[in-house]
């Protein structure tokens, strides 16, 4: 019998995150997509290998505690819904590891930073499942599946967290988001997300006018604040949605134009903006290369 699967989560290689990185900072795009420069600090890797997770968290600038905690919750929810789908379809849910086991396996693989946060995030996912146990009346259609389409000849892909069919036959996309505190601003905050607009565009190519919308599956994953959950319907952004395909195509054209005009990718424009170079998840992983003008090996 085959070993149970562990789902791959995260962004796709040809999705919005790639285009967004170019729009935010062409220099960061060049580091990551033209040179393949790793986005981590050498000292962080050394500290993690030695088991000093606190020093690693201080040193590492590309794997913040918030991102680690969020990725663990995301993984747990993905396995929970993947197993639900298999059960609903009359197949064997044991195709996938139980959600708690998946979180433990990945934490062991990723190292002490993940292991440090794992138990609390397991408790968070358990609280989520208990909270919605009697409310999830939908049919699960897709979990962490790559869906692709062509936009004016350009390949566009998205890894959708969750796609469901409600009892009335409407199709919903869901995106799992974690936060230290759920706030009202999240509805408008995510309404302008190209990633989420792209999910709706991809689903529309498959299901047409049966697509009802997108819900942001908010998970407050801070035990000190209390675990909490909300599923707001994303505020509509009709103009952005109408312009989505054109803006994807235009960004791809700009990338091609930069490649042709500026073959020295180390000289692509940098954002040089404190909100971009040091965002809500911490510093850009390439901040030292831009500050000092050298590549950190």
Residue 94 lies in domain:
16-255+270-292
Asked if the structure places residue 297 within a domain, the reply is no
The pLDDT of residue 58 is 44
Q: How many domains, in total, are found in the chain?
A: 1
Question: Is 265 in contact with 35 (CB distance < 8 Å)?
Answer: yes
Tokens of 281: 């998840």
The pLDDT of residue 62 is 43
CATH number at residue 84: 3.90.320
The pLDDT of residue 36 is 74
The pLDDT of residue 47 is 42
Q: What is the mean pLDDT of each run of 10 residues along the chain (297 residues)?
A: 80 90 94 73 44 46 77 97 98 97 95 94 98 95 95 95 97 95 87 93 96 95 94 90 96 96 90 90 84 67
The pLDDT of residue 295 is 55
Asked if the structure places residue 262 within a domain, the reply is no
The pLDDT of residue 282 is 80
Helix (H, G, I), strand (E, B) or coil at 163: strand
The pLDDT of residue 50 is 46
The pLDDT of residue 117 is 96
Asked if the structure places residue 1 within a domain, the reply is no
């Amino acid at each position: 019998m085959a070993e149970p699967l562990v789902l791959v989560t995260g962004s796709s290689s040809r999705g919005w995150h790639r285009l967004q990185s170019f729009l935010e900072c062409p220099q960061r795009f060049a580091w990551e997509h033209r040179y393949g420069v790793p986005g981590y600090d050498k000292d962080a890797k050394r500290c993690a290998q030695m088991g000093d997770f606190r020093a690693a968290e201080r040193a590492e600038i590309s794997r913040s505690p918030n991102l680690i905690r969020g990725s663990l919750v995301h993984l747990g929810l993905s396995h929970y819904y993947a197993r639900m789908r298999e059960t609903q379809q009359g197949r064997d849910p044991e195709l996938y590891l139980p959600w708690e086991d998946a979180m433990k396996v990945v934490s062991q693989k990723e190292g002490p930073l993940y292991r440090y946060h794992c138990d609390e995030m397991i408790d968070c996912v358990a609280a989520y499942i208990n909270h919605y146990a009697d409310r999830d009346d939908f049919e699960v259609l897709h979990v962490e599946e790559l869906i692709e389409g062509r936009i004016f000849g350009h390949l566009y892909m998205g890894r959708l967290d969750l796609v469901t069919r409600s009892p009335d036959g409407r199709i919903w996309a869901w995106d799992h988001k974690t936060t230290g505190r759920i706030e009202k601003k999240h509805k408008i905050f995510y309404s302008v997300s190209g990633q989420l607009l792209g999910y709706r565009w991809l689903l529309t190519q498959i299901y047409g006018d049966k697509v009802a919308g997108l819900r942001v599956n908010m998970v407050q994953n801070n035990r000190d604040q209390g675990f909490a959950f909300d599923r707001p319907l994303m505020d509509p952004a009709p103009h952005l949605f109408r312009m989505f395909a054109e803006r994807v195509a235009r960004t791809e054209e700009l990338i091609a134009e930069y490649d042709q005009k500026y073959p020295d990718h180390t000289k692509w424009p940098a954002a040089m903006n404190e909100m971009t170079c040091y965002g809500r998840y911490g510093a850009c992983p390439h901040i030292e290369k831009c500050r000092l003008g050298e590549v950190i090996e």
